[in-house]
Structure 1
């Protein structure tokens, strides 16, 4: 098992509620990895122990070109650590904000790779539950890697937990109804819309207002919005589960065979041979210029006095 001493921790790549992700270089093989450090006290205080244990448990069971790889986990007295692929192209979110919106062909490329990742998870009874541009990283060649499996859950049929990111929540989650893998196909609709328009279809500064808009499901369509794309999104962004694409008897085939994807060679996509619309500008292994800069914390990791009341709560680490 790896330990913290096996790495040189470098700059912060991202921050979250419980800690941060660092770029790290292995002293063993010299390669760069992303090391997620989570504060145990905060995880326990915010009652997220189950979600946090879920992430490594699920990541150990999956292997797919469009999903991030987990290499190892460990803990010290105060933090949990996950060693994952370093995906140097940064977040799709950052590129989308820079470009304002994507062309249809660019949006289609990212959607296609995401669909294959979701399809793979669903075949294994895993709901992802947190699809959004911030959780889609680009590798050095410009291909997709889904990251952050904190909300992912193994669910053979139905679940009730309310979680996810407000803008991307499906109506059935807001209504506190039992829900299934179909929530990921709703989020795919939100993602495609946001890539094409530059903002999600439902926007409100107030969470209650936002939830009302999602439940009303009135989508603002820009004048120049492609009718074929609109037809696809109406099939994904429908509160009626008996009509939502991805949830019907043909499963994800209804999405993949939709006319909006007519030009997509799915075999090529699966082999990571489709041509990415954007190739990140990366200079060598360990370059982090595609990530935002963060103020570095004054945190010391690695204390192992074993006076830690929370250690047993995290068997996944």
Structure 2
């Protein structure tokens, strides 16, 4: 609802409620249509007094474009109205917020999710370019999600959009610096293809949690874009930090996740010098991951040994609780399966079955010594399950990395 100190404008057909966001010229509100349907919409309220000549032209272009296009991955303009103080754009409401918030809440997106979003963004962009429209301000904040669960991506905010044929060139600076193509940043002529650069930056941010050229000033941004130095991923920086702090478990996990992104890069990179640099990185991460694996395996054996006495005592105290006894037996089977070292996937499945039951039992367990022991046992088993999950991922990542390195060396030798 409206907070203290401000109130939304009034519109005859709508009830304006919470503020969804605001910018230099406009504020966006969630609203309900007063008619029987109670349709939920988003209303962009543009203050006329804040508009200069350029922003008026941009607003008119935005209305013109959105009134003439319909696409499932582009936010719909349902209507527009005006009064003496404001211009109102009545838009489709997207309950999932924007892509920037979606990434921030998850730190980074799984490749499968990023792939689906990129396909939807590509569909919207192709539709626009087929109609000679360039967005010119593509960024996660301007990409909305239809719903919190299983969202559909919706391209929004056409305030900088222009009708541009593929061969048209412009020089007006538009958009947000972090997502601008080099031609724009370096103040050169540009064409409709600048949108494609922005898509690449958005994809990088989805996968790694921050833009590739994050900078504190325009000059720093230009310098980073012009530089030939390879962009370091957030995962690698974090892995090195955890490694230096002596957190072998976290470092091992992060190195393996980094390999998941570097291996495809090694496969697709066509520039010989960059390929060699990536090859060296992959080799370095595999080598360090193998060293960390030895440390982690040793520390986890100690963890198991420490857990044994408490586990046996908990089993004794659980004799009057058949469900608890069964769950602990499943946990013991998981540990035995893991120690055999033959099928980690089976062991992980047993851990997950046991933990699912033990967490339910913990919630119902009254305070006392048995609850304390059960809490400790759950923490131990969770640590074992996470470790095992990382082991499986690490083996897959290392295997992929070694295969990619071998293939890369073979292809280089063939070319020579």
TM-score (structure 2 length as normaliser): 0.53
Does residue 150 of structure 1 match 2:159? yes
Output the CA distance in 2 between the equivalents of 1:177 and 1:167.
17
SS at match of 2:62: helix
Which structure's relative contact order is higher, taking Cα pairs within 8 Å and 6+ residues apart? 1
Quick one: which of 176, 179, 182 aligns to 1:165? Answer: 176
Structure 1 residues 209-265: Cα deviation after superposition (integer angstroms, max 9, x where no partner): 112222336441335233435777999xxxxxxxxxxxxxxxxxxxxxxxxxxxxxx
- Once the two structures are superposed, the pairs formed by residues 1-317 of structure 1 within 5 Å of their partners are 4-28=11-35, 29-44=37-52, 47-140=54-147, 141-156=150-165, 157-216=168-227, 218-222=229-233, 223=236, 224=258, 225-228=261-264
- Structure 1 pair 232–144 and aligned structure 2 pair: CA distance change class (3 A): farther
Q: Which region of structure 1 is more displaced relative to structure 2, 84-93 or 169-178?
A: 169-178
Name the larger-Rg structure: 2
- Structure 1 pair 168–160 and aligned structure 2 pair: CA distance change class (3 A): same
Structure 1 residues 140-194: Cα deviation after superposition (integer angstroms, max 9, x where no partner): 2411001101011111122222110110000111222221121111001101111
Shift, 1:26, TM fit:
0.6
User: Do the aligned residues in 2 keep the contact of 1:126 with 1:153 (CA within 8 Å)?
Assistant: yes
TM-score (structure 1 length as normaliser): 0.69
User: Do the aligned residues in 2 keep the contact of 1:107 with 1:192 (CA within 8 Å)?
Assistant: yes
User: Do the aligned residues in 1 keep the contact of 2:177 with 2:185 (CA within 8 Å)?
Assistant: no
Q: Which stretches in structure 2 are left out of the alignment for 5+ residues? A: 1-9, 237-257, 272-416
Output the CA distance in 2 between the equivalents of 1:121 and 1:128.
8
The RMSD of aligned alpha carbons is: 2.1
Output the CA distance in 1 between the equivalents of 2:158 and 2:124.
13
Output the CA distance in 2 between the equivalents of 1:42 and 1:82.
16
Residue in 2 aligned with 1:239? Answer: none
- Structure 1 pair 231–65 and aligned structure 2 pair: CA distance change class (3 A): farther
Higher helix share: 2
Output the CA distance in 2 between the equivalents of 1:110 and 1:203.
22
Q: Which stretches in structure 1 are left out of the alignment for 5+ residues? A: 236-317
SS at match of 1:5: coil
Residue in 1 aligned with 2:338? Answer: none
Runs of 4+ in 1 over 4 A off after TM superposition: 229-235
